[in-house]
Structure 1
């Protein structure tokens, strides 16, 4: 996402902090039995409605059918700030392995490759990242460049890989995801989070910072400043992480007491969203910040709506959150069958870097008004 296009510039923010304060939200329901996957900074939402992907903009939903008669189904996983959506079309509703990465612009679909692929994210430059099936069962992280070229990203450590997945990318073309490392460590079913860029290739995030006994298992999102959030495992405890260069923090529930934490996304303000809970008590959508920790989003909406928010799947730089849930009081993930757009009822503070820039500009303007430096 292009930072300067996204963040609201307001002088009041100069007295705020780099993290969002506790906010309350209005709620818009996107639809019943609708699965929302992502939103952009103008609030356009994409996902799946029945057998077809959709794009929801200005309160209107447009279905994104397959562009070829031999496909039955489609799904949109991401949308950039030009309202270009990516995902895949498939021969079977449940079989993403028999799919073809697809891009929709103006509601018109275009196949991105002629072999089994699925696109999971797209940036404003038109670069996409996702998965390609490179053999009978092998899956490999994959990118499509804006000029039409394509590339397999490889795998951590072993040539005899089983899988690597690319989940997200930023405006600089940095890609994050996870890669199987069983052959290197003898630890089955315990992948490692990675970051990839064109200059350095694929790097293990566990080599970037010492996390002790904790293993960073998946890079789920990366913002335009290179901050990454994802999943980690410590023994048998599943939680999330926040990685800013070499600065590492666990994304934990704190006093809320959730036993499992799964981050889904973060924005350029460094706010992380996801789902927390367990199979017995149920799950709640959350937001988390370095300052303030975790907040249950169900406490920030009007209880009279009767909505249970189970998972926050995305957040934009305006502070809007895309969440899954229902209206029958259930907090169990399998029951989440409605999609909601949460819009903050208070302004969202700017990132620290923009605050410094604005402060510098104001100081320069003040000097010039006094005749200094002219």
Structure 2
């Protein structure tokens, strides 16, 4: 197995601004990450993965506590990190020896090639949970792409909803998988699916012409998007059979990228038909919030998309100063100051009134003397 090739120490600068007041929306500081990191996922420890340039190619990386670790490429020139578990395992794809890419698992300092389905030539890992189970897709002997579930016991074909193609994207710690699958002869029509205990369930089109699922949390809440006849995409949150449309900023395109165990969702939405008009959003407590309204505008950065959110409510995204100056960023929530309970506040005010009253009475007695 290839050893870790490089470690780089990065100092992060975190600009700060005024803290929250009671009843205000959440506010965030903004950390600008190195421009040569293309980050794709963040976990509950604030660690990240993605891809970084190296001489002659690009390699998956693992970012933790300011260190960037090159995960290598098993002797090849290319690897990419897509999924990251809370205990620091990474999955993605790697292409050693100039052959088609294979899904990999990086754990305990070692990258392992997960191979592909019997007779297939390629695979890719997109999500990984804390037990080392991986979902993504792989080619079959018939040269079809199917959703797969892989781990230390090999790779399993999850099948389809009746069509030729499927792919898994999100997986939770129970091993439940979500993604999308064709369901008939039309290879362009997909439905979101939920896979559990060997059964792939069609989640339907939610009133559109197609749908796909993008992520799942440990509460089995599912996020994704619905596409209508005008090819307008709308984001949804699926909870216990109930579908909630998340809304948008008025434009044609919207997409969800991640959901945490608090049920908070991040993604992007446009303001018009131009994809470049997109802003990153946070969906929380039934409200769709523009992330650019939650950071200090004096910083001069516009958050264009949000790719990940963890249970500490840290958000991974991309922000731009101009159209050609864009960087990966991390948004860290500002902890609001403690607010006394109503009863304690009333007692405090009563105490002040009593003290003032007592001092006033004492002064009156002194004047009489």
* CA–CA separation in structure 1 for the residues paired with 2:192 and 2:181: 6
Q: 1:279 Cα deviation (Å)? A: 2.1
Select which of 135, 142, 145 maps to 1:139.
145
SS of equivalent to 1:304: helix
Which ranges of structure 2 fall in alignment gaps of 5 or more residues?
Answer: 1-22, 337-369
Contact 1:206 1:215 in 2 (8 A): no
- Note closer, same or farther for the CA distance 1:109–1:259 as it changes in structure 2 (3 Å cut): same
* CA–CA separation in structure 2 for the residues paired with 1:120 and 1:109: 15
Contact 1:34 1:337 in 2 (8 A): no
Select which of 103, 119, 129 maps to 1:123.
129
Select which of 323, 326, 329 maps to 1:340.
329
Deviations 1:219-268 (A, max 9, x none): 10011111000010233221111110111111212xx3233210111111
* CA–CA separation in structure 2 for the residues paired with 1:223 and 1:136: 33
Contact 1:142 1:166 in 2 (8 A): yes
- Note closer, same or farther for the CA distance 1:137–1:128 as it changes in structure 2 (3 Å cut): same
TM-score, with length taken from structure 2: 0.77
1:113 aligns with: 115
1:196 aligns with: 195
- Note closer, same or farther for the CA distance 1:234–1:55 as it changes in structure 2 (3 Å cut): same
Q: 1:325 Cα deviation (Å)? A: 2.5
Contact 2:253 2:275 in 1 (8 A): no
Contact 1:35 1:48 in 2 (8 A): yes
Highest RCO, 1 vs 2 (Cα 8 Å, sep ≥ 6): 1
2:180 aligns with: 178
2:3 aligns with: none
1:61 aligns with: 68
Q: In the comparison of the two structures, how many residue pairs are matched? A: 304
* CA–CA separation in structure 2 for the residues paired with 1:116 and 1:62: 25
Give the structure with higher Rg (CA).
Answer: 2
2:103 aligns with: 101
Deviations 1:316-343 (A, max 9, x none): 0110111022232x3xxxx684211111
* CA–CA separation in structure 2 for the residues paired with 1:92 and 1:249: 46
- Note closer, same or farther for the CA distance 1:241–1:102 as it changes in structure 2 (3 Å cut): same
Do residues 241 (structure 1) and 243 (structure 2) align? no
SS of equivalent to 1:298: helix
Which ranges of structure 1 fall in alignment gaps of 5 or more residues?
Answer: 1-19, 348-374
1:74 aligns with: 79
TM-score, with length taken from structure 1: 0.76
Which runs of structure 2 are paired with 1:282-321 in the superposition (5 Å)? 282-291=277-286, 293-321=287-315
Deviations 1:199-230 (A, max 9, x none): 4x1110018xxx3x324511100111110000
Contact 1:231 1:241 in 2 (8 A): yes
CA RMSD between the two structures: 2.4
Deviates more, 1:241-250 or 1:20-29: 20-29
- Note closer, same or farther for the CA distance 1:127–1:301 as it changes in structure 2 (3 Å cut): same
Contact 2:260 2:310 in 1 (8 A): yes
SS of equivalent to 2:137: strand
Deviations 1:131-187 (A, max 9, x none): 101147521100113x423200001124xx1x211001111111000012241xx5x
* CA–CA separation in structure 2 for the residues paired with 1:128 and 1:151: 10
Q: 1:108 Cα deviation (Å)? A: 2.8
1:364 aligns with: none
Q: 1:311 Cα deviation (Å)? A: 1.1
SS of equivalent to 1:205: strand
2:255 aligns with: 262
Do residues 30 (structure 1) and 30 (structure 2) align? no
